Structure 1
Amino acid sequence: MISRSWRSVALAVVVVALVVGIGVVASGLWSVLWGGDDARIEGLSEEVPWEQAIVVPTVAPRTTEPAEPVFDLAQHSTSDPTSRWVIVNKQHPIDKGYEPADLVDVDGERVRAAVEPDLRAMVEAAAADGARVVVRGGYRSYTEQVGARAAVEARRGFAHAERYSARPGFSEHQTGFAVDVDSGSQPSCNLQTCFTRTPEGAWLAERAWEFGFVVRYTEQNSAVTGYAPEGWHLRWVGRELTAHLRAEGIGSLEEALGVPGGPEYVAG
């Protein structure tokens, strides 16, 4: 028989083993629940770090469409005669002594150097479509406008001249940015209201803007520009502005650039 003393020793060993086992289990559980970087969860994946086992839902940031850039209508002067956006009308004359310093020849007519590439490209594009646009007039000095206006008055009278021909000092032609054109297919309509019904007039009304030109005087804008429709009178302002006018449906330079106009001359 085992003596009572040996039974006591055996019982003590068992108790110690139980205590040690419980401590090991408790320590492991504590490590899993509250452990640091070495903590692991088994069963989800092999050795998955605790912080990776928890999936935190995220909300994608709200995205907004970038705003369309605002077209800068103040990038060029409307009063400086050298500016491509200068406005010359019955309310805004040009100095009688002004003459552009960079005039170049296009088909026998003078225009500002900046106008030449677009003017040539437009004439060529029209020809490719069967429209024979002929450059008729470009820059006119103050003195030349005196003669042009006098000729219209002598032929058609003062009232007609006021509607169709600028007084000296009030003509866009003096800027070098204006061009008059003829119809090569129907010359009988040159400088006539029927010009708009020629192949050239119709083409220009639809396509001139692509080359930086506006048909300056139309039936729709005559109250603002102060002139009767002239489908043959083109004004170069550059392709950026004409694209803006087209996109926004704006019918005159005065409206686009906030410059007053009208049928009455500022001088009375």
Structure 2
Amino acid sequence: MTPAAPRRRRSPFAPQVLPDGHRHFSHRAVLARRAVLGGLLLSGVGGGVVLARPAGEDPETVAATGPAPVPPSAPPDPPQPVAPVQTQPTAVEGPSRTAADSPWVVVNKQHPLQPREYAPALAVVGGAEVAAVIAPDLRALLGDAERDGVVLGVASGYRSYERQRAVHENAVRRDGLDAAESLSARPGYSEHQTGLAVDFSGRTRPRCLLEDCFAQTPESDWLRAHAGRYGFLLRYPEGATAVTGYDAEPWHWRWVGTDLVQRLAGSGTATLEEFFGVSGGTGYA
């Protein structure tokens, strides 16, 4: 009788083969596999070995024990503070950007008029006072618009230092300081004091006088299409509050002359601050 071959000891890693051919890892086999894997990971750290977790774990192991726990990731580094952008003056040949009587003067919450109580030479156009230098272009604009069937009016032109003080104080009493200063300048900081700014009105929707809905009127459409030919720039466009310091005002147009309007259009720049590299913003200097 041939002696029976000695039974080989079953490896602790070996699965049990079921009658249907599937493999099943016992709890003991799973623990043994994990112990060896842990040892490999520890030795890999010391020996410079990087072990990657297989893309697909053995499905039977997962079924028996669940997926291996994923170690928590390290918290992200805290965001670093962003340094404020420092604007630099842009070298553009032309009139002064600081002289109160210059057509290119930049007046905003960072740059008041010098002197604060400056007053220009005046003319009357459309029943309102404006700087005399803009009178010919403004008259031409109003006349050509009317010939196109668009009746524009001048709701506001020049305002003296004292008049601007009254306008600002009234807005603060009515709306509170924060809301008032998003639309109304302090005296000495207003473009209206230069006489170069005009608030237009329209006949089609009188209730939109100095209101956002003026942007949806035929008068506003005409101005956007044609005002540049007369040297006027939409001074406070939509989305530029952080630059100009004021909410959008579709009725407020500033005379800068046709040369500068063309330069702005050619550069794709909407505001004087961005074109000249002049600081602006919602806070007063």
TM, length-normalised to structure 2: 0.66
The reply on whether 1:174 has 2:187 as its aligned counterpart is: no
Aligned counterparts of 1:193 and 1:239: Cα–Cα separation in 2: 26
TM superposition outliers: structure 1 runs of 4+ over 3 Å: none
Q: Which residue of 1 aligns with 2:157?
A: 138
The reply on whether 1:160 has 2:179 as its aligned counterpart is: yes
Q: Counterpart of 1:255 in structure 2: which amino acid?
A: E
Q: Which residue of 1 aligns with 2:266?
A: 247
Q: Which residue of 1 aligns with 2:112?
A: 93
Greater helix content:
1
Q: Counterpart of 2:98 in structure 1: which amino acid?
A: S
Aligned counterparts of 2:146 and 2:253: Cα–Cα separation in 1: 17
Shift in Å, 1:82? 0.8
Aligned counterparts of 1:184 and 1:160: Cα–Cα separation in 2: 28
CA contact (8 A) 1:195 1:232 kept: yes
Q: Which residue of 2 aligns with 1:120?
A: 139
CA contact (8 A) 1:220 1:251 kept: no
Task: Give the RMSD, CA atoms, in angstroms.
Answer: 1.3
Deviation track 1:174-232 (CA, whole Å, cap 9, x = no partner) reads 11111111111111000100010011112112221111001100113222101000011
The reply on whether 1:211 has 2:208 as its aligned counterpart is: no
Where does structure 2 lack aligned partners over 5 or more consecutive residues?
Answer: 1-90
Aligned positions of 1:247-266 closer than 5 A: 247-266=266-285
Shift in Å, 1:91? 0.2
Aligned length in residues? 194
Aligned counterparts of 2:145 and 2:216: Cα–Cα separation in 1: 15
Aligned counterparts of 1:157 and 1:193: Cα–Cα separation in 2: 19
Deviation track 1:100-150 (CA, whole Å, cap 9, x = no partner) reads 1x2111122111222011111111122222222101111111100011112
CA contact (8 A) 2:117 2:188 kept: no
Q: Which residue of 1 aligns with 2:50?
A: none
CA contact (8 A) 1:205 1:231 kept: no
CA contact (8 A) 1:215 1:235 kept: yes
TM, length-normalised to structure 1: 0.70
Q: Counterpart of 2:118 in structure 1: which amino acid?
A: Y
CA contact (8 A) 1:137 1:181 kept: yes
